[in-house]
Amino acid sequence: MRTRALALRIIRQFLRDKRTLALIFLAPLLILTLLNFIFNGQPITPNIGTVQLPAPIIERLNGTDANVTTYTNQEEAKQALEAGDLDAILSLADGKPDLILEGSDPSMNQAILLRLQKVMQASTPTIQPNITYLHGKEGMSSFDYFGPVLIGFFSFFFVFMIAGVSFLRERTTGTLERLLATPIRRSEVVGGYLLGFGIFTLLQATLITWFAIEVLGMYMVGNFGLVLLINLLLTLTALTLGTLLSSFASSEFQIIQFIPLVIVPQVFFSGLFNLDAMAPWLQKLSYIMPLYYGADAMRGIMIRGESIGDIQLDIYILLGFSIVFALLNIAALKKQRAI
C-alpha cells in the first residue's frame, strides 16, 4: 500500500511536469527519426572525373550511379579534385586504369572502388552466384542493423537520467528525509520508485518500439511482445542503476558527470560497433554492461526472429542486474535512515 502510494505520487508529479514527459516520450522519437534519415537516406553518388577514357568504359561508369565528368587533360581534372568538385579521377596510364581518390572519406572511397570493380568485372563475363539470406534481406540498411540497439539505448539513457535526477532531487529537497520519518520501509521506497517509473518506462518502450517498426519501417521479423519485454527489462536496469548512482551524487550536475562514465562506454560495447577488432581481454568488458545484453536480445528478436528460448540468458542477466542494483539501493538508503 505504501509502495502504491509512492508510485501514485510519482505518476502525479510526472503528469504535472510536461517537459520531462516530452523528454521521455518525444525526444527518443525525434532522434530515431533523424538517425533514420542519416542511415536510410539516398545512396552515395560519387563525382568521378575521367581523362581520355574509351567511350564504352564511360558508358559503363555512368551506369553505376555516379556523376561522370570528362576532362581533356589530367591537369584540369586535378584542379577540380583539389577544389573539391570531384571525388576521384579515373584515367588510363600505360593501358592500365589509374585512379586518384580524394581520400578523406572512407565510405566515399569504398563506394568508388565498388563502382570501379563493377566496371572492370563487366568487361569479363563471370558466373553470377545465387544469393540467399539466412536472416535479413537484400538491401537491408545499416539503420535496420543499428536500430534494435538504438531502441534499447534510448530507453536506457533517458530513464537513467530522469530516474537519477528525480531520486537525487528527493534527497536534496529534504523530502526523502521526510519520507523516511514515516513508517515506510526502505524496500518500499525502492519498490515505489520501480512501480511508478516502471509504468512510464513501459509506455515509453511501447511507443519507441511501435514508432520504429510501424512508422520508420525498421526491419522486424520477431515477436513485438518480446521486444517490449527486453526493452522493459533494460529500462528497469537503467532505473535501478540511475537511482543507485544518484546516492553518490550531490547535485544534478554530478548526475550529468555519470554519462561519460556509465553511458558512453556502454554504447561502445553495446554492439553498435564491431568489437572483433578489439583485444580479446578488452572485449570481455562488455560482459558487465547491461546494454550489451539488451542489444544482443533486441537484435536477435528483430533481425533473426529469435524466440524467448534463444534470448533467455539475456533476460536472466538483465533481471539479475536490476535485482542487484535494487538491493544495493535499499542498502544505500541506510545512509539516510539507520533502520
Partner 1 sequence: MSNILEIRDISRSFHGRAVLQSIHLQVERGELFGLLGPSGSGKTTLIKLMTGMDRSDSGEIHILGEKVPKLSLLKRIGYMAQSDALYNELTARQNLQFFASLYGLSGARRNERIDAVLRVVDLLDHKDKTVAAYSGGMKRRLSLAISLLHEPELLILDEPTVGIDPVLRQSIWQELLALRDQGTTIILTTHVMDEADKCDRIGLIRDGHLTAVDSPAALKERSGTTTLEDAFIVLGGGVLA
The number of beta carbons lying within 10 Å of the beta carbon of residue 75 is: 10
Sheet holding 88-93, edge to edge: 67-71, 47-51, 88-93, 96-101
Cell numbers representing residue 269 in the block: 560495447
142 binds partner 1 (CB under 8 A): no
Task: Name residues contacting partner 1, limited to 171-230 (CB under 8 A).
Answer: 173-175, 177-185
φ and ψ of 49, to 5 deg:
-100, 140
Per CB under 8 A, which region of 10-18, 88-96, 139-147, 236-244 contacts partner 1? 10-18
Between 18-25 and 142-172, two packed helices, what is the crossing angle to 10 degrees? 150
When the beta carbons of 186 and 304 are compared against partner 1, the nearer one is 186
Give Cα 158 distance to the centre of its chain. 13
338 binds partner 1 (CB under 8 A): yes
CB of 191 to partner 1, least distance (A): 13
8 binds partner 1 (CB under 8 A): yes
d(CA 79, CA 121): 30
In the list 16, 133, 138, 279, the residue contacting partner 1 (rule: CB under 8 A) is: 16
2 binds partner 1 (CB under 8 A): yes
12 binds partner 1 (CB under 8 A): yes
Following DSSP, what letter does each residue of 269-286 receive, concatenated?
HTTSS--TTS-HHHHGGG
When the beta carbons of 6 and 149 are compared against partner 1, the nearer one is 6
Within a 13 Å sphere around the CA of 81, how many CA atoms are in the beta-carbon half?
22
Amino acid at 287: Y
CB of 14 to partner 1, least distance (A): 9
When the beta carbons of 154 and 167 are compared against partner 1, the nearer one is 167
When the beta carbons of 16 and 96 are compared against partner 1, the nearer one is 16
CB of 11 to partner 1, least distance (A): 11
Per CB under 8 A, which region of 168-176, 224-232, 269-277, 318-326 contacts partner 1? 168-176
d(CA 265, CA 255): 16
Amino acid at 65: D
337 binds partner 1 (CB under 8 A): yes
Q: Are 186 and 337 in contact (CB under 8 A)?
A: yes
CB of 196 to partner 1, least distance (A): 11
Alpha helices of 83-105 — where are they, by DSSP H? Answer: none
CB of 7 to partner 1, least distance (A): 11
CB of 23 to partner 1, least distance (A): 15
CB of 29 to partner 1, least distance (A): 24
CB of 22 to partner 1, least distance (A): 15
Give Cα 261 distance to the centre of its chain. 17
In the list 134, 261, 277, 339, the residue contacting partner 1 (rule: CB under 8 A) is: 339
d(CA 308, CA 242): 27
User: Judging by DSSP bridges, how do beta strands 96-101 and 47-51 pair with one another?
Assistant: unpaired
336 binds partner 1 (CB under 8 A): yes
Q: CA separation (Å) from 2 to 9, 10, 188?
A: 11, 12, 7
1 binds partner 1 (CB under 8 A): yes
CB of 285 to partner 1, least distance (A): 37
Q: Which residues bind partner 1 (CB under 8 A)?
A: 1-2, 4-6, 8-9, 12-13, 16-17, 173-175, 177-185, 336-339
